[in-house]
Amino acid sequence: MDNFETITVETDLLICGGGMSACGAAVEASYWANKHGLKVALVDKGAMDRSGAVAMGLSAINMYVDLNSGNNTLKDYCDYVRNDLMGITREDQVSNIARHVDGSVHLFEKWGLPIWTDEEGNYVHEGRWQLMINGESYKVIVAEAAKNAMVETGGEIYEHVYLSHPLMDGDKCVGAIGFSLRENKVYVFKAKAVFVGMGGAVHVFKPRSTGEGFGRSWYPPFNSGASAFFTIYAGAEMTCQEVRFIPVRFKDAYGPVGAWFLLFKAIATNAQGGDYMQENAAELDKWEPYSRIKPCPANLRNWLMMLDVMDGKSPIYMQTAEAIQRIAEQAPDEKSAKRKLKELEAEAWEDFLDMTIAQAILWAATNVQPDKKASEIMACDPYFIGSHSGASGAWVSGPEDLQNDQTKDEYFWGYAQMTTIKGMFAAGDASGASSHKFSSGSHAEGRIAAKSAINYIMDNNETPNVDQAQVDALKVEILKPLVTFDEHKGYTVDPDINPNYIRPKQFMYRLQKIMDEYAGGVSSQFMTSDKLLEKGIELLTYLREDVPNLAATNLHELMRCWENVHRMHQAEAHVQSILFRDETRWPGYYFRTDKPNIDNENWLAFCNCKYNKDTNEWEMIKRPVKYLTQ
Ligand code: SFD
Ligand code: AMP
């Protein structure tokens, strides 16, 4: 412990994370902070160029509303999101992001991101809301602009610094504490406002890929629940903690399916060639009114596929060859059909190479020629992300100008994107109930949050009151795993087997086993029940008791320890929320066998929760869903 130097950084706005929302926040905050003579610091556990979910690049921008075209309105986008989330969404939040997202997309293009265009120079749409991009360097481009904005205005960037806890002054957030992943340094950041944009949570559940494939997940394993932990630990009200996301992906390497379904208009079938969306359509009657509106909600698309899986009709195939051949056949002559075929084949490979390189490698390794052979798809494991088709995150204030008489008191408390904790703002995967923002919407939401946070600082421009005793205690707690290992390492020959401590991987495996078996993971075919959840909560309590026994051999493992503590909090919020919501609303994401139906009369409502870190107790809160428009 004595070997650790403490570095104290005093700033006005602290941006936690360096991903899409944080890059948006950095650009916007730099502008406004510069205008008002304020300071901004950004902290990323990785290197901003390749950190977060967009590290490998993306092949599409999934949220582009194209408001200027006059073809789409904010209401259109709200309707789409509301239906996809089976009615549970904050339309003030969705609208606010939707009215700003096109601006972010145009900035990306200006900064150098190649967006596909057709012969007339119009963007090539994958679907109604999605644009195709050459996105291998997407994150590098967006991060470069964020870094430039920071550097040009005197902002400070800390990379490879892992943030473990927020710093609190009663009900106000006044900074964050963490440690360097390269040197023996503890960092104490004191700030007047804190922006939380540390992504979602992966590996809370046992993943499908274990052993040699461990770490290959759809969402990145380095998004390990820091956003959820920061907001939960601070005592912020959380929302939609039950709304996990389970994407369907190409099997084993998690290649995207959007381009196949939307751009190439492929269909997926069971092993007998049956189209489960057609053959199982009668099931949709049970999930009305959402099931009958197009596009069919993502969880119900999953569910119709899962019915076939449970019926023994696997493998499930994306019929790539059929789709490619069908498009090529539309060409006027044989020569142009051949050319079109080559073009489509290249696009199919690029779709993977732009964002999920492992899938291209797997195709190559298994002799897949997409124009000749169908490829297996499957439902992945559960992820916690507020930015895609899940909804979990902090309950944040909406913008004032979009509220109506019904929503104003429920959804607005002074500063857009502020959590229920003063001075703590959230965006991207960190903010809940505003799904379908994706990379572009997360960037736009980060911009909104940063501008709002600077306003908050202007109105509350007091020196943060950081209690030194809190910092000292946290420093001891954070570094304890290193001390524990050092103290006990001589007791056994094999460092993995020691009665005095638990290593982070072992802790994670235990968490994943509990979640998998009790909270509806992959091996339970995403099914759970009140009784299973209650037992799971008991087992999570025992896991929590082992937190002080975590041991780390080095700084990297120290990060792993805290990542798993973060995940554990996400897990607790999840099981408590599934249990609280006394119905099944999102079959295909999870199914409560004791409550197998949707209950619109009682549960068209938000399940919110709050954690008390002093008593380890959860308070569950039901909040009304109020739409801006009908
Ligand atoms: O289609 C700490 N996403 C897609 N979005 C699109 O627009 N188009 C697509 O094509 C998308 N697809 C997709 C997507 C994601 C992934 C992984 C794949 C495919 C394979 C979704 C977007 O990427 C996502 O919505 C946004 O990136 C979310 O932004 P944000 O800011 O909420 O999270 P982030 O970008 O992951 O960044 C997190 C940052 O936090 C850092 N961090 N820093 C300090 N201390 C800690 N303790 C920290 N913990 C985390 C991270 O390093 C990172 O900088 S498609 O297939 O769905
Ligand atoms: P994905 O690759 O599954 O993340 O999808 C990319 C985008 O396409 C997201 O906006 C999805 O919601 C959407 N999408 C994917 N598949 C379908 C489908 N079958 N119908 C409608 N939208 C889809």
- Give me the percent of the chain exceeding a pLDDT of 70: 100
Give yes or no: 62 in active site: yes
Instruction: Based on the fold, state whether residues 490 and 606 are members of the same structural domain.
Output: yes
Q: How far apart are CA 25 and CA 27, in angstroms?
A: 6
627 located within any domain? no
- For the record, the structure tokens of 111 come out as 């900064």
What backbone torsions phi and psi does residue 396 show, to the nearest 5 degrees?
-115, 160
Rounded to whole angstroms, what are the CA distances from 399 to 26, 267, 421, 441, 447?
20, 40, 16, 15, 13
Residue 369 domain boundaries: 248-379
Q: Which amino acid is at 623?
A: R
pLDDT digits (tens, 9 = 90+) for 439-478: 999 999 999 999 999 999 999 999 999 999 999 999 999 9
The active-site residue, picked from 92, 308, 351, 354, is: 351
The closest-lying atom of ligand 1 relative to the alpha carbon of residue 218 is 20
pLDDT digits (tens, 9 = 90+) for 133-174: 999 999 999 999 999 999 999 999 999 999 999 999 999 999
Distance (Å) from CA 429 to ligand 1 centroid:
8
What three-state secondary structure class fits 33?
A: helix
Instruction: Based on the fold, state whether residues 400 and 542 are members of the same structural domain.
Output: no
Listed residue (390, 380, 384, 383) closest to 208, CA to CA: 380
Give yes or no: 439 in active site: yes
Distance (Å) from CA 438 to ligand 2 centroid:
11
Domain final residue, candidates 325, 360, 379: 379
pLDDT digits (tens, 9 = 90+) for 398-443: 999 999 999 999 999 999 999 999 999 999 999 999 999 999 999 9
The active-site residue, picked from 21, 51, 59, 62, is: 62
The mean of the pLDDT values for the chain is: 97
Rounded to whole angstroms, what are the CA distances from 60 to 63, 69, 124, 231, 379?
9, 20, 10, 30, 20
The closest-lying atom of ligand 2 relative to the alpha carbon of residue 259 is 2
Q: Residue 64: nearest ligand to its CA?
A: 1
541 located within any domain? yes
The active-site residue, picked from 397, 439, 498, 564, is: 439
Question: What CATH number corresponds to the domain at position 538?
Answer: 1.20.58.100
Cis peptide before 315 (omega within 30 of 0): yes
> Given this model, what pLDDT does residue 2 score?
73
The closest-lying atom of ligand 2 relative to the alpha carbon of residue 436 is 10
Instruction: Based on the fold, state whether residues 441 and 473 are members of the same structural domain.
Output: no
Phi-psi region of 75 (alpha: psi -120 to 50; beta: other; left: phi over 0): alpha
> Given this model, what pLDDT does residue 1 score?
65
Q: How far apart are CA 372 and CA 375, in angstroms?
A: 10
Residues 87-116 have a mean pLDDT of 98
What is the SS3 assignment for 269-287? Answer: ECCCCCCHHHHCHHHHHHH
Instruction: Based on the fold, state whether residues 396 and 503 are members of the same structural domain.
Output: no
- Which range, of 38-47, 343-352, 593-602, 612-621, averages the lowest pLDDT? 343-352
Query: pTM to 2 decimals?
Result: 0.98
Rounded to whole angstroms, what are the CA distances from 304 to 32, 167, 248, 516?
48, 45, 12, 21
Of all protein residues, the one whose alpha carbon is nearest to atom 13 of ligand 1 is 58
> Given this model, what pLDDT does residue 215 score?
87
Residues 549-566 have a mean pLDDT of 98
Distance (Å) from CA 508 to ligand 2 centroid:
31
Sign of torsion over alpha carbons 460, 463, 466, 467 = negative
Q: How far apart are CA 222 and CA 87, in angstroms?
A: 31
DSSP string, 507-569: HHHHHHHHHHHHTT-GGGTTEE-HHHHHHHHHHHHHHHHTGGGB--SSHHHHHHHHHHHHHHH
572 located within any domain? yes
Residue from 27, 28, 51, 227 to probe ligand 1 pocket by mutation (most atoms less than 8 Å from CB): 51
Instruction: Based on the fold, state whether residues 271 and 198 are members of the same structural domain.
Output: no
Per the CB < 8 A criterion, the answer to whether 360 and 354 are in contact is no
Give yes or no: 529 in active site: no
pLDDT digits (tens, 9 = 90+) for 60-98: 999 999 999 999 999 999 999 999 999 999 999 999 999
Q: Tokens 């109604």 correspond to what residue? A: 128
Of all protein residues, the one whose alpha carbon is nearest to atom 42 of ligand 1 is 198
622 located within any domain? no
What three-state secondary structure class fits 268?
A: strand
Residue 629, pLDDT above cutoff 80: no
Instruction: Based on the fold, state whether residues 297 and 226 are members of the same structural domain.
Output: no
Distance (Å) from CA 199 to ligand 1 centroid:
6
User: Cβ(478) to ligand 1 under 6 A?
Assistant: no
Instruction: Based on the fold, state whether residues 322 and 216 are members of the same structural domain.
Output: no
Backbone Cα Rg of the chain: 24
Angle, nearest 10°, between helix axes 91-111 and 74-84?
110
- Give me the percent of the chain exceeding a pLDDT of 90: 96
Q: How far apart are CA 430 and CA 392, in angstroms?
A: 8
Instruction: Based on the fold, state whether residues 526 and 607 are members of the same structural domain.
Output: yes
Provide, for the chain, the percentages of residues in helix, strand and coil under a 3-state DSSP scheme, each rounded to the nearest 5: 45, 15, 40
Q: Residue 157: nearest ligand to its CA?
A: 1
Residues 222-229 have a mean pLDDT of 98
Instruction: Based on the fold, state whether residues 354 and 413 are members of the same structural domain.
Output: no
Give yes or no: 388 in active site: yes
The pairing of strands 172-180 and 185-190 is antiparallel
What three-state secondary structure class fits 325?
A: helix
Of all protein residues, the one whose alpha carbon is nearest to atom 49 of ligand 1 is 198
User: Cβ(390) to ligand 1 under 6 A?
Assistant: no
Instruction: Based on the fold, state whether residues 547 and 524 are members of the same structural domain.
Output: yes
Q: How many domains does the chain have?
A: 3
Q: In what order do the strands lie in the sheet with 238-239?
A: 393-394, 238-239, 605-612, 617-624
pLDDT digits (tens, 9 = 90+) for 343-401: 999 999 999 999 999 999 999 999 999 999 999 999 999 999 999 999 999 999 999 99
Distance (Å) from CA 61 to ligand 2 centroid:
11
The closest-lying atom of ligand 2 relative to the alpha carbon of residue 129 is 10
Residue 25, pLDDT above cutoff 80: yes
